[in-house]
Structure formats: C-alpha cells, structure tokens
Amino acid sequence: MRRGYIFTFLVLLAIQVVLGDLLNLTQYVILSYLPVMIMSLPVTYGTPKVLIIAFATGFAVDFLTHGILGLTVSALLPVAFARNTIVKLVFGSELLSRQENISIHKQGPAKVLLGTFLATLLYFAVYVPVDCAGTRSLGFIMLRILLSLAVSTPVSYYVAGILSPLEADRWR
C-alpha cells in the first residue's frame, strides 16, 4: 500500500511536470495540484518530513519544467508548514489525534474541497506575487490568483480523490 501510494505520488508529480512544461493556458492561469499532494501526505508524517518532501517536490518541478528554480519550492513550503493548521481548521483536531488520513469518503467532499481550496489559495498567494516580482499590478496579481484557483481547485479535488482511496480501503 505504501509503495502504491509513493508510486501514485510520483506519477502525479510527473504529470504535473509535463503539464507545467507543455500546458500554457494563458498568462492569467496556472494549473497546479501540488498543494493537494502535500495535503494528502499521510498524517503520520511530521511537519519536518512534510517540509522536506515539499522541498524535494517543488525542486523537482522547478528543475524539470525549466522554470525559475526555487519558485515552486518557496510557494510549496508554506503549504507544508501550514498543513496541520489547515487540517485542524477544516477537519478538526480529532483527525490528527486519531492519525487518520484525509479521505473524501470519510471526511466528505465539502471538507476536502475546502481544505484543497485553502491549501491552493496559500500556494498561489505566494507563487503569483513571487513570479510577478513587482513587475505587475496588484489587480493583475489578484486576477491571476483567482483564475488559477478557479482552474486548479477542481483538478486538485480530483487528485485528492486519486490519493485518498488508498486510505479509504483500510476502513472498509
């Protein structure tokens, strides 16, 4: 199961790299489900471990997509750092104390969608301003964040669904 999870994670990462490299929607839209991948990491993983995974994931994306090295990393690390807070806020602290993983089947689609939304929002709130680096107006940055959220959140929810059945199986 663990090996299956890692394999799924790596495949999703590879798809993200390909999407990031090949799929250029517009300058207003960024498609990324990396935040939900970090959120979906097993709850048993401590924050330092999640941070290291986020760093490695972000670095891989930046390196392989020929983008700005450090951009994805710097945006993904806050998501990893705030993961437990988002989990407590959306799913309650019982999830952490029972060491349950995030699952659409158990926690319900609404909560997972909300958790996905918050993690993605945090990611873009860092990614977009750093990417623009003071060269764009605040209006452009806000619009880019909103449109990227609108596109990435449904995709991220779908990715959360792919990652969560592994845990759901355990409860059957």
Partner 1 sequence: MPGGRKQYGPVLSAAVFAILEIAAIIMLGSSSSIQATWLKGAAHRTHATLWGSGEKVRNYFTLDRQNRALAAENVKLSNLVRDFSQRELAYRESRLYDTLVGRYRYIPASIVKASRNTQHNYIILNKGYEDGVKPQTGIITTNGVVGTISHVDRHFSYGITLMNNKMSVSARIGRTGPAAPLEWDGRSSNGALLRNLPLHYGVEKGDTVWTSGYSDVFPPDIPIGITGEVRLKDGSVNDVKVKLFQDFAALRYVIITENLDRGEIASLEEEGGI
Q: Which residues bind partner 1 (CB under 8 A)?
A: 46-48, 51-52, 54-55, 58-59, 62, 68-71, 73-74, 77-78, 80-81, 130, 133-135
Composition of the chain by helix, strand, coil, percent to 5? 75, 0, 25
Residue 75, phi then psi, degrees to nearest 5: -85, -30
- Closest approach, Cβ 47 to partner 1, in A, equals 4
By beta-carbon proximity to partner 1, the closer residue of 62 and 167 is 62
Q: What is the DSSP string of 42-65?
A: -TTS-HHHHHHHHHHHHHHHHHHT
Q: Provide, rounded to whole angstroms, the least separation between the CB of residue 82 and partner 1.
A: 9
* Cβ at position 172, least distance to partner 1 in Å: 31
Give the tokens for residue 23: 């799929």
Contact (Cβ atoms closer than 8 angstroms) between residue 16 and residue 158? no
Closest to partner 1 by CB, 73 vs 160, is: 73
Under DSSP, the state recorded for 26 is: B
Separation of alpha carbons 16 and 155, rounded Å: 11
Q: Which is nearer to partner 1, 91 or 127 (by Cβ)?
A: 127
- Give least dist CB 73 to partner 1, A: 4
Lookup: tokens for 14: 């590879």
Nearer to partner 1, 117 or 127 (CB): 127
